[in-house]
Amino acid sequence: MTDCDFLVVGHGIAGATLAYVLRQRGHQVMVYDPGQENSASNVAAGLMNPVAGKRFALTWRAADLLPFAATFYRELEQRFGQPFFTETPILKLFGSLEEQNAVLTRSADQPWGDFVAGLVTSDPGLPGVNGPFGGAWLRHGGHLAVRTLLAALAAEGTRDGWLRRETFDWTRLATSAAGATYAGRVRARHVICCEGAAAVRNPYFGWLPLTPNQGEVLDVDCADLSTAQVLNRGAYVVPVGPGKFRVGATYRWPPFSEVPTAVGREELAARLTIITDLPFTVTGQRAGVRPAVRDRRPLLGPHPTVPSLSFCGGYGSKGVMLAPRLATLLADWLDGHGEIWPDVSLQRYNTLRPASVI
Ligand SMILES: Cc1cc2nc3c(=O)[nH]c(=O)nc-3n(C[C@H](O)[C@H](O)[C@H](O)COP(=O)(O)OP(=O)(O)OC[C@H]3O[C@@H](n4cnc5c(N)ncnc54)[C@H](O)[C@@H]3O)c2cc1C
């Protein structure tokens, strides 16, 4: 029997950041994950964008989450001696004169704090970029090489023995007030479910209002397109190397295919042709399922009736920005100090749990 303090189920960005924070605090942690190639985290473009959507709205808690995440990922870069996070300006292009006018009108109220570096009302003249209506230059955003970071952490976990490349079977978990035992092999003080969208099938947490949606991204070669910034207009175009870009993302609600589709590829290619007239070649395509939540807020904290069990996830399309701060918040709570913020706490949904389930 292996004894540990915390058993983390899932090593996507949610579970990996939580396990890292707990280990940094000196806790014994075990992580289970079979290593799924198309997990949302492995597919994600890794963008951290402070101003999103057609309404140019400031992302929820951006002023807290973005700097926290950037510092967190920089610390991991130091640890592994490898680059993961690239801070990049983001040019959010206006799609029309109406959109430009709406944003200019709102700008008088300064709704974006420090995140908008400037607004331009004519074509910014970037190599290969169609921007006839101008756009908003955003700062303090960037992109994370999520897959590379998770691979580095997993390699450490395999080497040091805290990561098991197995699917966790919840029917083999026995819980008590003092802790939990898994398959007669591992004893833990507390178990945390970080299964991403797969949590909809979890016997303890399946009642949570997760609304998984599928997304696809393309890898694209486009020789002369500007790489000095992320571009955003209907799609985001993230530079990942000289002449290389990741273009995303689609949204599909159930029923959906979990593998890449021709429709997804065509949709993204069409959106890219609005941003640039340059020829491009699609070199790769990936699909994954986002763990979205009905009210678009994460889900964090203890199970309502099983004291040795918690949940960490529901990050929707913003896992990169959310994961470091929320992992730290949950770790604080697990360490006996700090409260789970009410707007992310599972408790807001306790009434959804049927009396018949665990
Ligand atoms: C196409 C696409 C593009 C995206 N782009 C961005 C982006 O640019 N920026 C951004 O911030 N977010 C983006 N996202 C969203 C982001 O990917 C998610 O918010 C985030 O990855 C969710 O992380 P997670 O750890 O909760 O889930 P996941 O990444 O799905 O990880 C869950 C892990 O749990 C494991 N698991 C599940 N069940 C078990 C079990 N029983 N036993 C053991 N292990 C188990 C799985 O194998 C998996 O590794 C994108 C998503 C998609 C699909």
pLDDT digits (tens, 9 = 90+) for 192-241: 999 999 999 999 999 999 999 999 999 999 999 999 999 999 999 999 99
Please state, in angstroms and as integers, the Cα–Cα distance from residue 286 to each residue in 170, 258, 292, following that order.
Answer: 29, 9, 18
Pair type for strands 186-193 and 2-9: parallel
Residue among 297, 269, 271 at smallest CA distance from 284:
269
pLDDT in tens, 291-334: 999 999 999 999 999 999 999 999 999 999 999 999 999 999 99
What tokens were used for 286?
Answer: 């990936």
Residue 86 has pLDDT above 90, yes or no: yes
Overall average pLDDT of the 277-287 stretch:
98
Mutate-to-test residue for ligand 1 from 267, 290, 297, 326, highest number of ligand atoms within 8 A of CB: 290
Between the CA of 43 and the centroid of ligand 1 the distance, in Å, is 8
What tokens were used for 167?
Answer: 């699917």
Total Cβ atoms within 10 A of residue 271: 19
Where in the chain are the domains?
Answer: 2-43+147-210+294-352, 213-290
Between the CA of 79 and the centroid of ligand 1 the distance, in Å, is 23
Rounded to the nearest angstrom, the gap between the alpha carbon of residue 155 and the centroid of all alpha carbons in its chain is 21
Strands of 49-134, DSSP E: 51-52, 57-58, 85-87, 90-93, 116-120
Q: Ligand 1: which residues within 6 Å by Cβ? A: 9-15, 32-34, 36, 39-41, 43-47, 167-168, 194-198, 215-217, 248-249, 288, 290-291, 313, 315-321
Which residue has a Cα nearest atom 38 of ligand 1? 195
Please state, in angstroms and as integers, the Cα–Cα distance from residue 348 to each residue in 15, 293, 295, 297, 351, following that order.
Answer: 22, 12, 10, 11, 8
The CATH classification of domain 2-43+147-210+294-352, taken from the options 3.40.50.700, 3.50.50.60, 3.30.1370.110, 3.40.50.2000:
3.50.50.60
Residue 18 has pLDDT above 80, yes or no: yes
Between the CA of 273 and the centroid of ligand 1 the distance, in Å, is 28
What is the percent of the chain with per-residue pLDDT over 90, rounded to a whole number?
Answer: 94
Q: Using an 8 Å Cβ cutoff, are 326 and 291 in contact?
A: no
CATH no. of 213-290: 3.30.9.10
Please state, in angstroms and as integers, the Cα–Cα distance from residue 347 to each residue in 60, 137, 206, 229, following that order.
Answer: 20, 38, 14, 40
Which residue has a Cα nearest atom 6 of ligand 1? 44
Rounded to the nearest angstrom, the gap between the alpha carbon of residue 189 and the centroid of all alpha carbons in its chain is 27
Angle of the 62-80 helix axis to the 319-334 helix axis, nearest 10: 90
pLDDT in tens, 348-357: 999 999 877 7
Between the CA of 313 and the centroid of ligand 1 the distance, in Å, is 9
Between the CA of 223 and the centroid of ligand 1 the distance, in Å, is 30
